[in-house]
Structure formats: structure tokens, C-alpha cells
Amino acid sequence: MRALAVRAPGLDRETRRAFARAGLEAVVVHPVRLVPLPRPRLTVERLRGYDVVAFTSPRTVEFLAEDELENLRRADLDIAAVGPRTRRALEEHGLAVDVLPDRFTTGSLAEALRGYSRVLALRSRRRTDELRTRLARAGVEVDEVEVYDLKPRRVRVDPSRFDVVCFFSAVTARCFLERVGTELPEPVVSIGPVTSRELERAGLEVIEAPEPSLRGVVEAAVRVARSRSRRPP
């Protein structure tokens, strides 16, 4: 059984291995490329104006310079990560994570940050407003700094050759559908509710992962692929 994994660059080997452990051969495609953005430097003086710095992707960590990582280690503030992969990326740079939500979504991260007064969120340019909106409703001041952008790129793949197509973000789903179209084996698998809404707007039948993680996507993909293999020709 074969799975097509649609996601941003950087995690291909980990993705293929996770699918392989579940008995699926995975091909990973990238309908976007990651581009760093000009932005203010994270100086100690700037960081000390906040209670916590929130990371919503491990890729945000990768785009920080070494002196900025050192400043984060020196500043007296908390570090928040949206999920275990982001936490691992931070810990690899000597940054201890103080806040990790129970569910690995931006909405859950916002709930976990409600007790702070000022939040600095390091983000992608192509993001939802959920973090800012939820924290603003709770009276929390939020500054968002755009660290990188996702630029569309051409994808050449025939989805009909796969048993299941899996999407890991709303942005990559949108860019993929714009270039490849919506003639996909259904149902498709989504990592979480924001991605599901994007796919449903395109008229696709969607199965959402039981948890918003690679493990959850693989679990849902196995169910879909097996159900398709049992269908009569």
C-alpha cells in the first residue's frame, strides 16, 4: 500500500520511516519552499519585554541565528512549544520548554498561554489568526514576528497511483490542490481541523487524524488504505 504525504520540506526521512513502520510506502512531496524573512533581531533587551516566547513550528527554530538562540537562553522568560517536535528542536539548542499544550494545535497552545501578560510569537507568514484572536479575547497582549514564508512550488505527481493522500497543513494542502487539482483518492487524511476545513472547502471527503501529529496521520492513513484495499474492483 502506498501513501502520498503532502507537507513542507525538512522532515522527509522521519515521515517515510513512520509510514514504513505501519506497512505503508510513503512518497513525500513539497508544494511549498521555505524562505527566511527580514525581521527584527531577537536581542536580550527586546526579549525581556515579554513573559514568554511561543514557537508554533520546529522550522521557526531552524531559522534563528546562533546569537538569537543564545539570547533566548540568557533572557529571563518562559519558552512555549506547540508540540513535541518543536520542543525537541528547542531542546537540541539548549532551550528548556516551560509550556507544552495537551493537544498539539495552535488553539491549544493559546489556551495554555492565557496566564501570561505579554507573548512574543515567532511564526510563519502564512498562518491562521487563531493564536492572536484567542489570546486577545483573554486579555493577553501578543506580538507576532514573521520568521519565514512558504512559497508555492510546482509538484509533479499522479495521486491516482496512491492508496491514500495525507495533508500536514492547510497551506500545503491549498498549494497542492491549486497545482494538482482535486481528483484524488478519497477520503484524504488531514492532520487537524484547520487543514480539514481547507480540504472540505475544495469538496473533498476528509478523515481527520485522531491526534494532530505524524503518528496520528499515519494511523488514519492505515485505516483509509486498508478500507480501500478491501473494496471490490
**What pLDDT, on a 0 to 100 scale, did the predictor assign at position 29?**
97
**What CATH number should be reported for the domain whose range is 35-150?**
3.40.50.10090
Q: Do domains 2-31+157-229 and 35-150 have the same CATH topology?
A: yes
Q: What pTM was estimated for this model as a whole?
A: 0.77
Give the pLDDT confidence score for residue 199 in this predicted structure. 97
Ordered mean pLDDT values, 10 residues apiece, the chain (233 residues) = 94 94 97 94 94 92 94 94 91 94 88 95 86 93 93 93 95 94 96 93 96 94 87 55
- Could you tell me the residue ranges of all domains in the chain? 2-31+157-229, 35-150
The arrangement of secondary structure in 2-31+157-229, i.e. its CATH architecture, is 3-Layer(aba) Sandwich (3.40)
> What is the pLDDT, as a whole number, of residue 143?
94
Question: Going by C-beta distance under 8 Å and a sequence separation of 6 or more, which residues neighbour residue 169?
Answer: 7, 8, 191, 194, 195
pLDDT of residue 52: 97
d(CA 40, CA 99): 24
Residue 169 CB-density burial (10 A; 0-12 exposed, 13-18 middle, 19+ buried): buried
How far apart CA 133 and CA 127 sit, in angstroms, is: 12
